[in-house]
Amino acid sequence: MPMAMPVARARKRGNPNWGRLIPPAPALATEFELRVRQLQLTPEMYVLSRELRDWCWQNRNRCYIPEWLLGEWCIAVDRTFSGAA
């Protein structure tokens, strides 16, 4: 009786994910959110925090800061600021 030869499987070709939806990318924290986390503040504490206010003043034209918070502190943002140095 002859020995059976192993059957070679055909290699599948192409992208196995073709046609599937791409999962959404995870949302990254903004610098404001990172700073708030570092200071261990809750939203109720934002307005009372001197450290956060100073950080927001220094970064008002560079980072996202919630508009309601800028309004609470009367911090104006330079809308024509490009950040290019």
Give, for all 85 residues of the chain, the pLDDT tens digit: 666 666 767 777 888 888 999 999 999 999 999 999 999 999 999 999 999 999 999 999 999 999 999 999 999 998 887 665 5
- What pLDDT, on the 0 to 100 scale, is given for residue 78? 86
Instruction: Judge if pTM exceeds 0.75.
Output: no
Cα 85 from Cα 72, distance rounded (Å): 29
Burial class (CB in 10 A: 0-12, 13-18, 19+), 76: exposed
pLDDT digits (tens, 9 = 90+) for 17-34: 889 999 999 999 999 999
- What pLDDT, on the 0 to 100 scale, is given for residue 10? 76
